[in-house]
Amino acid sequence: MNRKELVDLIYRKKSFLCVGLDSDKSKLPECVLTKEDPVFEFNKAIIDATLPYTVAYKPNLAFYESQGIEGLVSLKKTMDYLHSFDKECFTIADAKRGDIGNTSQQYAKAFLSPESDFGFDSMTIAPYMGEDSVKPFTVYENKWVILLALTSNKGANDFQFTQDNQGTKLFEQVLTKAQEWGTKDNLMFVCGATQAEMFSTIRRIAPDHFLLVPGVGAQGGSLSEVCKYGLTKECGLLVNSSRGIIFADHSADFAKTAAQKAKELQEEMKTYLER
Amino acid sequence: MNRKELVDLIYRKKSFLCVGLDSDKSKLPECVLTKEDPVFEFNKAIIDATLPYTVAYKPNLAFYESQGIEGLVSLKKTMDYLHSFDKECFTIADAKRGDIGNTSQQYAKAFLSPESDFGFDSMTIAPYMGEDSVKPFTVYENKWVILLALTSNKGANDFQFTQDNQGTKLFEQVLTKAQEWGTKDNLMFVCGATQAEMFSTIRRIAPDHFLLVPGVGAQGGSLSEVCKYGLTKECGLLVNSSRGIIFADHSADFAKTAAQKAKELQEEMKTYLER
């Protein structure tokens, strides 16, 4: 999906909601556990319920890999299902990969290539290994790198705020340097909602790039704060909620509740888009 | 495998060689391509040929994931095969993972848990997201985190040498800080052989930790330079070669040549261990 298609999708659905399919098997509602592939059945129900309010889905690979090969089969089925809704949603492999050049090429092939088992629109990448670890993810047409800049977790404070001798923080260096490796048409940044006070700085360095924003909901970030500083005239945000939507209700009504939670966020997002 | 077992293995085989099973399907010798599972058959032949000279095997996940679910099946079979050589080799998932705490737990489960499809002894982790992204990998008994510190690629220069206002480089901060998260019994560091001039600095900060050293061979690093500054009285090194061993020969003699290349490195290593 290219930038224009993504922006069109956002204004059509009046939403910039990303639903995180962190479908931890140990937390699935009882009613899906009897199905042949509980993780896939859960995802399918969540997708069906939330699609009207949602522009992106983001399975975090860890929750599939932890189920071994069986988990990857559930992921493939989930992606096949998402592909059946052509242009109705953007897909993100939350994989946080990155390796030396020839190895990153293999990861890009694994997740972004149209011939792969998954064929995601984008994937998250860690910046620590620099240029040759990131650039191989920019070669597929209409596919995106989403580079970690400022993450939503406590450990973000360990290295990401380290200042160089000019006072530039590491996450700011990442935001600046990476713009030599990709453009606003194939590069986004992860910036956590728990760091909302940093969004004006982020927008000074990367005024037009899309930001993928985790941390709203279970992690405590505020949507209104993120929008206040992060929203651009082409939206420029994908705000993720995972546990706050998919695990809001563990009863047989889980999908209905997920739809309600997604709708609440979408309705709030609509007001920001219309300002 | 615990530290004592690893050190014993090294002195028994007089080797600290790690063979990187970066078994790129497009580079396999023709003679294995007709087999039902070419990647596994290739790995099995390489393992059989190199085991006398080798203390560790390191499949890089990218080369398996790029083959989709089929690739993960080949990896599982490879790991099952390696597990049949109990205490004869240490295994490393070169995965470079790392995510927020509850998600890193899932990655740890995927690769390190004895109940997982793979059951590696260790896995490589990226430090960018800090403490809560790393610590979940230290909870399994006799399993290891191998944290990226100074990598062997050109992109290492983009961020890893950034100095804070005390002149401390980012990779040095990682080496220091991570010692609050793990001990020399469950934490190693990745330090590239292409950065051999940095090994005296690395040993000043981490005198006793094992270092996993990629970059000898195809990437141009020198074994003697690495040993000059990196070797400790308990060895403290696992030096990896991938392409230089497994793809040294594309003929039907590939395994024999791999054994020869591994033996050459082991013989050189023996001289350093005996000094």
Residue A54 has pLDDT above 80, yes or no: yes
Q: Token pair of A127, please?
A: 């910046």
Residue A81 confidence (pLDDT): 98
Residue A218 confidence (pLDDT): 72
**Cα dist. B9→A148, B4, B57, B175 in Å?**
39, 8, 13, 26
Asked if A24 and B106 come within 8 Å (Cβ–Cβ), the reply is: yes
| SS3 category, B262 | helix
* Mean per-residue pLDDT, A106-125: 96
Residue A216 has pLDDT above 90, yes or no: no
Q: Which residue among the candidates A76, A96, A109, A184 is catalytic per the annotation?
A: A96
Asked if A100 and B68 come within 8 Å (Cβ–Cβ), the reply is: no
Interhelix angle B254-274/B3-13, nearest 10 degrees: 100
Using an 8 Å Cβ cutoff, are B148 and A128 in contact?
yes
Asked if A101 and B127 come within 8 Å (Cβ–Cβ), the reply is: no
Contacts with A199 (C-beta within 8 Å, 6 or more apart), sequence order: A191, A225, A226, A228, A229, A230
* Closest partner CB to A128 (pick from B134, B154, B159): B159
Q: How far is B170 from chain A (nearest CA, A)?
A: 8
Our CA angle for B16, B144, B140, nearest 5°, is: 145
Length of chain A (residues): 275
**Hey, of A24, A78, A97, A99, which one would you mutate to test binding to chain B, going by the most B CBs within 10 A of its CB?**
A99
Residue B266 confidence (pLDDT): 98
Contacts of A153 in chain B (CB under 8 A): 100-101, 129-130, 132-133
Question: Quick check: is A96 catalytic?
Answer: yes
Q: How do strand A144-150 and strand A122-125 relate by DSSP bridges?
A: parallel
Q: How far is A260 from chain B (nearest CA, A)?
A: 25
Beta-carbon neighbour count of residue B165 at 10 Å? 11
ipTM over 0.85: yes
Please provide the DSSP assignment of B30-93 as one string: HHHHTSSSHHHHHHHHHHHHHGGG-SEEE-BHHHHHTTHHHHHHHHHHHHHHHHTSTTT-EEEE
Per-residue pLDDT tens digits of chain B, which is 275 residues long: 999 999 999 999 999 999 999 999 999 999 999 999 999 999 999 999 999 999 999 999 999 999 999 999 999 999 999 999 989 999 999 999 999 999 999 999 999 999 999 999 999 999 999 999 999 999 999 999 999 999 999 999 999 999 998 999 999 999 999 999 999 999 999 999 888 889 999 999 999 999 999 988 777 888 999 999 999 999 999 999 999 999 999 999 999 999 999 999 999 999 999 98
Per-residue pLDDT reduced to its tens digit, A63-96:
999 999 999 999 999 999 999 998 999 999 999 9
Q: With bands split at pLDDT 50, 70 and 90, how would you rate the model's confidence at A275?
A: confident
Annotate chain A with three-state secondary structure.
CCHHHHHHHHHHHCCCEEEECCCCHHHCCHHHHCCCCHHHHHHHHHHHHHHHHCCEEECEHHHHHCCHHHHHHHHHHHHHHHHCCCCCCEEEEEEEECCCHHHHHHHHHHHCCCCCCCCCCEEEECCCCCHHHHHHHHCCCCCEEEEEEECCCCCHHHHCCCEECCCCEHHHHHHHHHHHCCCCCCEEEEECHHHHHHHHHHHHHCCCCCEEECCECCCCECHHHHHHHHCECCECEEEEECHHHHCCCCCCCHHHHHHHHHHHHHHHHHHHHCC
**Cα dist. A112→A93, A104, A124, A180, B274 in Å?**
9, 11, 11, 21, 48
Length of chain B (residues): 275
* Closest partner CB to A126 (pick from B73, B126, B134): B126
Per-residue pLDDT reduced to its tens digit, A142-196:
999 999 999 999 999 999 999 998 999 999 999 999 999 999 999 999 999 888 8
Per-residue pLDDT reduced to its tens digit, A118-146:
999 999 999 999 999 999 999 999 999 99
Residue B194 confidence (pLDDT): 85
**Average pLDDT over chain A, rounded to an integer:** 96
Q: Token pair of B198, please?
A: 């940095």
Query: Which H or E run includes A65?
Result: helix A61-65
**Cα dist. B158→A83, A91, A131, A230, B161 in Å?**
36, 29, 7, 26, 7
Residue A196 confidence (pLDDT): 81
Residue A215 has pLDDT above 90, yes or no: no
Residue with tokens 């990709």: A182
| SS3 category, A216 | strand
How much of chain B, in percent, has pLDDT values that exceed 90? 93
Per-residue pLDDT reduced to its tens digit, A21-53:
999 999 999 999 999 999 999 999 999 999 999
Q: How do strand A237-241 and strand A17-20 relate by DSSP bridges?
A: parallel
pTM above threshold 0.80: yes
Contacts of A127 in chain B (CB under 8 A): 128, 158-159
Beta-carbon neighbour count of residue A30 at 10 Å? 11
**CA gap B65, A112 in Å, rounded:** 12
Nearest CA in chain A to B162: A164
The identity of residue B45, as a single letter, is A
